[in-house]
A and B are shown apart, each in its own frame.
Chain A
């Protein structure tokens, strides 16, 4: 089973701040990495699916980059809003293995 780490564990920012967090994973046999946004009492929702080294994906104020050689992905949120408060989960998958979710980064955006 993949060892997936996310940092920081939790984060508090002020409305309007930009922020970023990290997902680290073993780089060998990498296949794809997913980012999900999870609000408590709801189900995780997909943000990005990334496959290629150097990939950069963007959705509104949220973007993500991928480095498969060194085994990390960054998620960036520009100009954080209170509605961005959620737990952000990454889930890498290797050949022959399934999605393994990291523990998540819990983001709180204070108005």
Chain B
């Protein structure tokens, strides 16, 4: 079945550590996005990529890094520079924001907690 997979579902990080969240899709989508969601809040865009080997900063990119070496994969690294990383992280993919009959597919999310 086609879909988008995030792992792990839960992640605990010690202060000062970098951690990497995985996002893989087999939908052949060009666009992949990372969002952060805090309790009771909306979705804030961290990074997005429209094509392999290219990505752009979103609204809250500080303290995060990404890579897009393969079309199927868009991992997110939460670095030690991110001062408040505890949140729910969502990865999404879709064909293109301006296309008709397009929709964003979201992964199940990764809940990151700093301990």
Report if A and B associate in a common complex: no
